[in-house]
Amino acid sequence: MYASLKGKVAIVTGSGREKGLGQAILERFAAEGAKVVVSDLGRAQTHMGEGDIGTTDEMEGIAAAIRDKGGEAVAIPCDVRRDEQCKALIDGARDAFGRVDILVNNAGIGYIMKPLTDVAPDEWDAVLSVNLTGAFLCTKHAAIAMMEQGDGGRIINIASQAAKSGFPHMAPYTASKHGMIGLTRSNAIELGPHGITVNAVCPNHVTTGLGAKQNAYFSKLLGFDSVDAYLANMKAKNPMGRPGLPGDTAGTCAFLASDEAVYITGEAVNVSGGEEMH
C-alpha cells in the first residue's frame, strides 16, 4: 500500500515476542516490502515478575516466518538500556542490509502496577530506563547512521494513551510515556534539517500479552466482577466500540514511515478510536 517502503530497512525494538505489538509493526513493514530487523532481549530473562521475554528462539522464529513468506529479516538482540548494545543494533542492521531507514522504538515495560506509595526506586528506574532511556539511546545511534547516509529517515516512538492522560497505579509508566513525547518533539526539531522525521504513536489499550496482565489488574482495582465485564465497559466508553488492535498501531507506523508523511514531524498521534482526543 505504501510503495515508498519497498526496500527500506526498518528496525523495531521489542519485536521479539509472539503476538506482541512490536511483532505486528514488524510484520506490517515486511508486508510493505521493507527489510526488517527483529530486536528484543534475545535471552530468557526473569525481571520483576515479567517472566521469560524476548528469547532468542522467539526472535529467530519471527524472522524465519517473515523469510518463509519471501521477506528479508534478521534477528539482532539488544538490551535498550545499554548504550553499546544500541549502537551494535544499528551497526548490525547496516551490516546486514547496508543502511537504516526506519527505527521504531517499541521496547517497553508496562507490568509494574501498584500504588505510588508502594513503588520501589528500582522499579521506577527499570521502567524509565527501558521506556525512555532506551528510546533515547536507540534514536541517538540511528540518527547518527541516518545523518551519515545523508538522505533522511524516520523515527517512530510507541508512546501510549498514558502519554496524554494520567492513570492510577501506573506512575512510572505514565511518566515515561509523557517523557517520550517530550523526547519526540525535541528530536524532531534537531533532526528535521537532516530530513529525519520523529513522531510518536499513542495507542489506547491493546490486549497483547502485556495488555492481558493490565486487564486482570485493573478489573480488580476498579471493582469489576470479571475481566469480561471490565472489557465490556471499556468498549462501551469508546466511540468506536472496541479497544485497540495491534494492526491499528502498525498501520499508523507504516503511514508515518512512508513518503506520504514526509512533512509530518514532532507529532503525537492518537490511535484510540476517539477515546483520546488531545
How buried is 4 (Cβ within 10 angstroms: 0-12 exposed, 13-18 middle, 19+ buried)? middle
Does residue 103 form part of some domain?
yes
Number of domains in the chain: 1
How buried is 225 (Cβ within 10 angstroms: 0-12 exposed, 13-18 middle, 19+ buried)? exposed
Does residue 212 form part of some domain?
no
pLDDT at 48: 45
Q: How many residues does the chain have?
A: 278
Does residue 175 form part of some domain?
yes
Does residue 109 form part of some domain?
yes
pLDDT at 50: 47
Interval 101-114: pLDDT, tens: 999 999 999 889 99
HSE-CB for 205 with a 13 A CA cutoff: 20
Whole-model pTM?
A: 0.94
Q: Which residues of the chain have pLDDT under 70?
A: 44-54, 207-211
Determine the structural domain holding residue 65 and report its residue range: 3-206+244-271
Check residue 22 and give left, alpha or beta (phi > 0: left; psi -120 to 50: alpha). Answer: alpha
Does residue 211 form part of some domain?
no
What CATH number does residue 86 fall under? 3.40.50.720
Catalytic annotation, residues: 173, 177
Interval 116-168: pLDDT, tens: 999 999 999 999 999 999 999 999 999 999 999 999 999 999 999 999 999 99
Element of type H or E holding 212 = helix 209-221
How buried is 81 (Cβ within 10 angstroms: 0-12 exposed, 13-18 middle, 19+ buried)? middle
Does residue 235 form part of some domain?
no
Does residue 215 form part of some domain?
no
Does residue 222 form part of some domain?
no
